[in-house]
Amino acid sequence: MEHDSARIVGKVISRYKDPLTGEYIPGSEQVDYNKLVDTGAVAIVKWLANSTAVADGAFKYVGIGSTATAAAHGNTALGAEYSAGGYARIVGTQSVQAEAGWGNKVYQVIAEFPAIGGRSAVAEMGIFDSAVGGTNVMLIRLVFSPVRDNESNTLEITYQLTIEPVP
């Protein structure tokens, strides 16, 4: 079957792991779909045109925060990003999964935040091109139901940007 168009879909999977066993905590997984923000869309288009300062593989920094304010296309930062200690942005592990032919093409980033005593609820996340705020570019922002757990577990966030065919 031929396809003349495609769409970009972003998905975030968050779940907790027991750091001793490496096992996922039952019932801790959340799957949500994100908001591709304007700065992220512009960066993608400029990258395709080879006219941007955003380097290949730059969107690998995962940030988390506490604000439940809805994501908007004009967002350029998280509402209340955690930046101290183990909450600072994590460099995610990047990969590409490409189905043969005109199947889905997936860019994936996985980041694992360590167990930290006194952890607050996590209600938002974003993907950035820099380890620190300021002049960085945000690709996506997602607000989800606050995730709170036993503070001894690690938080794993998987982001997938999929280009999929539209029939």
CA atoms within 13 A on the CB side of 116: 16
In this prediction, the residues of the chain whose per-residue pLDDT falls under 70 are 1-4, 47-57, 85-86, 99-104, 116-120, 146-151
Choose among 59, 75, 55: nearest CA to 67: 75
As a whole number of Å, the CA-based R_g of the chain is 16
Rounded distance, CA 101 to CA 164, Å? 11
Choose among 63, 89, 54: nearest CA to 143: 63
Q: pLDDT tens-digit profile of 48-65?
A: 666 555 566 688 999 998
pLDDT at 71: 86
C-alpha separations of 83 from 36, 47, 119 in Å: 22, 28, 12
